[in-house]
Amino acid sequence: MPEALTDLSLGAGLVCVALALLIVFAVVGTRGGWHPILAARAYRILAAERGLHLDTRGLAVHGHIGDRAVWIGEVAVGHGPERRRQILATVGFRRPLGLGFRIRRKGRGSRKRTQIPIPHKRLARRIEVACDDPERATQLLGGPVLDALLAISSRWPDLQVDDTRVRLRLRRAEAGPDRLRDLLASLEGLASAIESARLGLGPMVPLDTWRAAAERLGLTLEEGLPALSGQLNGHSVVACAMRDGVRIVVDVRVRRAGPRLGLSLSLQPMDVPPSLLGQDIPMGDAAFDQAFVVKGWDPGRVRDAVGPEARSRLIALSQRATLRVDDDVVTAQFPCLDLADDLLEVLGCAVALDGGR
């Protein structure tokens, strides 16, 4: 008899546990609680497959695939009570287009630029195109680019393209590995189609200065843009001509050699609203803090990385250039005056980060 009672009690206990688990599963499932778990798994798989950094403090993968910068995940937008999170998927171009080019979802475009007619009725109902160089932009919108735009906007309608990147604003994170792979592949496909079309348009500035800088520094001249690329002291360097309204500027990017900082570092001018995840980090340097907004995850490590020499070089360069710095890359835009010396100055800023390590 005691054994029967024990068996009965054990059975009742198991039934209660099973019912409790069913209730938990039902509540989680009906409230969408599985989605973050599935999304985190998908992001982890994609990061491992494509060699990207998995950021678990906010659901995101980011890094570089070849010469392309990639970010898929959460970002913070706005300030104070208006601060909110968005899910963005961004793939950068290997080289800036240099056209003052903009594609936006219909109704979200800028009226400051010349609107470009879209030779596809269905696509014209979804997006609008503007450019500072209308003739070249019209040539850019050929068959392969239109096909890629139509394919991606039919699945993810909130599309943005500019001279440097292709970006999607998502309603929520993709929760399946296959859908996340498709998302990244679609962004890469559109970026490749636009880049191929851009190369067919030819250079937008005379090449004499660019040839001289390539010869002096031992870099490769890509005449179609034009652009310079190669290695300087072991660091990857790219410089491209870009249109900024009515003037032409040079966009210089130096990717630091060695391990990435791993700080989710974002350094940009004070007059540009910050949008990346991370907290504001004052450097304790009055001149520097007045010139730049610095964000990241680890204030102590960020201050160590952006030390006195780096701050001094960045302040000096900021008198002539617009600067951006992240964990991997120092970016500067300035008028093309002495291209070779400008490249070396940006290189000095990149090397100075993290104490030159």
pLDDT in tens, 68-120: 999 999 887 656 666 678 899 999 999 889 888 899 998 765 555 568 899 88
Q: What is the mean pLDDT of the chain?
A: 84
pTM value?
Answer: 0.73
Residues 143 and 291 both lie in one domain? no
- My answer on whether 219 and 301 are in the same domain is yes
| Domain end (from 199, 232, 247) | 199
Q: How many other C-beta atoms can be found within 10 angstroms of the C-beta atom of residue 357?
A: 11
Query: What is the distance between the alpha carbons of residues 256 and 18, in angstroms, rounded to a whole number?
Result: 55
Domain count of the chain? 2
* Claim to verify: residue 234 and residue 303 sit in the same structural domain: yes
The answer to whether residue 20 is domain-embedded is no
User: Which pLDDT score, from 0 to 100, does residue 27 have?
Assistant: 44
Instruction: Return the amino acid letter for 133.
Output: D
pLDDT at position 14 is: 59
Q: Tell whether 148 and 222 lie within a shared domain.
A: no
Tokens (6 digits) for 200: 């067919």
Strand partners of residue 222: 227
Domain limit, last residue, from 179, 199, 219: 199
- Write down the pLDDT at residue 356: 52
Least confident of 73-82, 251-260, 312-321: 73-82
Instruction: Give the per-residue pLDDT at 133.
Output: 85
Q: Would 86 be classed as within a structural domain?
A: yes
State mean pLDDT over 127-133: 90
Which residue segment(s) compose the domain that 220 sits in?
Answer: 208-356
Residues in the chain: 357
What would the pLDDT profile of 2-42 be if each residue is shown by its tens digit? 554 455 455 555 556 556 555 544 444 444 567 888 899 99
Instruction: Of 11-15, 329-333, 336-340, 342-346, give the lowest mean pLDDT range.
Output: 11-15
Cα–Cα distance measured from residue 92 to residue 329, given in angstroms and rounded to the nearest whole number:
13
pLDDT digits (tens, 9 = 90+) for 274-316: 544 455 888 999 999 988 888 887 888 889 999 999 999 999 9
| Confidence (pLDDT) at 12 | 57
Residue 242, SS3? strand
What's the CATH code of the domain at 60?
3.30.1460
pLDDT digits (tens, 9 = 90+) for 171-198: 999 989 999 999 999 999 999 999 999 9
Could you tell me where the beta strands, DSSP code E, fall in the chain? Answer: 53-55, 60-65, 68-77, 84-92, 101-105, 114-116, 127-131, 159-161, 165-170, 220-222, 227-232, 235-244, 247-255, 266-269, 279-280, 292-296, 322-326, 329-335
Give, in order, the Cα–Cα distances in Å from 305 to each of 57, 232, 295, 296, 352.
Answer: 20, 21, 12, 11, 9
Contacts of 157 (CB under 8 A, 6+ apart): 105, 126
44 within a domain of the structure (yes/no): yes
